[in-house]
Amino acid sequence: MTAPRPMTTTLLDAVRDAVAGVPDPELPPVTLGMLGMIHDVTVGDGGDVRIELLPTFAGCPATEIMERDVVEAVGAVPGAGRVEVRFRFDPPWTPDRIDATGRERLREFGIAPPGGATGAPTADGRVTLPLMLGPASDPRPCPYCGSSDTVRESNFGPTPCRDVRFCEGCQQPFEAFKA
């Protein structure tokens, strides 16, 4: 992108902020920006907006709600025209895209965040899936007491993105974001 006009840059920033601030419908303390779901945002000359999102889990029923919420949030930005939302699968969304703030919010919400690298990979071309190489059972500290004496009880939890663990330290079950 070469020397965009200042007006457009301002609108683009406002649209980006609006998209990034949309909360996850099932985990409201976490936003789409924190989850690293935003691949690209472009604003055309007439103010038309095109947003490319990376869906998290294929079976996530919240995806459609996110799309609707993004359209509403961007529609409220002064100067924004038609809003188009597209989902793409390359690069694939992986939990390592969740940023540091998102991880801390998940933990506060009682969901152990994934380990691994923080921050979204750059959007230039296909990325490898670093977390795919490890076992799905990677150990997680308890989000309540911080103990590392925890076990995974089930691969499957209340949503496609979470599994179920148990903390031997505080004797509490807890959920972990899949990685």
Partner 1 sequence: MSAATDIAFTPPELSTPRSQLLLVLADDELVTGHRASHWTGVAPSLEEDMAFSSIAQDEINHADLWYQVLIGLEVSGHAQRAAVDALGLGRAPDEYRHAIACERPPRDFAFTLARHWAYDRFDAVRLASLTTSSDEDVAAVAGKLQFEERYHLEHADQWFTRLTAGGDEALGRFREGLAVALPEALGLAEPFEGEDEAIETGLLPVSHPDLGARWLEIVAPLLAAADLDDLVPDEVPDEASGGRLGRHTTDFTEDVWPEMTGLYRAHPGARW
Per CB under 8 A, the list member of 2, 45, 46, 89 interacting with partner 1 is 89
Nearer to partner 1, 26 or 84 (CB): 84
Q: Alpha-carbon distance 133 to 113, whole Å?
A: 18
Q: Alpha-carbon distance 77 to 56, whole Å?
A: 25
The string over 128-165, giving b where at least 16 C-beta atoms fall within 10 Å of a residue's C-beta and e elsewhere, is eeebeeeeeeeebbbbeeeeeebebeeeebebebbbeb
In the stretch 44-83, what mask flags binding to partner 1 with x, by CB under 8 A?
-------------xxxx------xx--x----------xx
Nearer to partner 1, 4 or 110 (CB): 110
Asked whether position 129 contacts partner 1 by CB under 8 A, the answer is: yes
Asked whether position 150 contacts partner 1 by CB under 8 A, the answer is: no
Residue appearing with tokens 């996850």:
24
Q: From residue 88, give the alpha-carbon distance in Å to each of 13, 104, 176.
A: 22, 27, 25
Nearer to partner 1, 34 or 179 (CB): 179
Angle between helices 62-75 and 6-20 (to 10 degrees): 150
Nearer to partner 1, 140 or 178 (CB): 178
Which residues contact partner 1 (rule: CB under 8 A)? 57-60, 67-68, 71, 82-90, 92-94, 126, 129, 132, 135-137, 153-157, 160, 163, 178
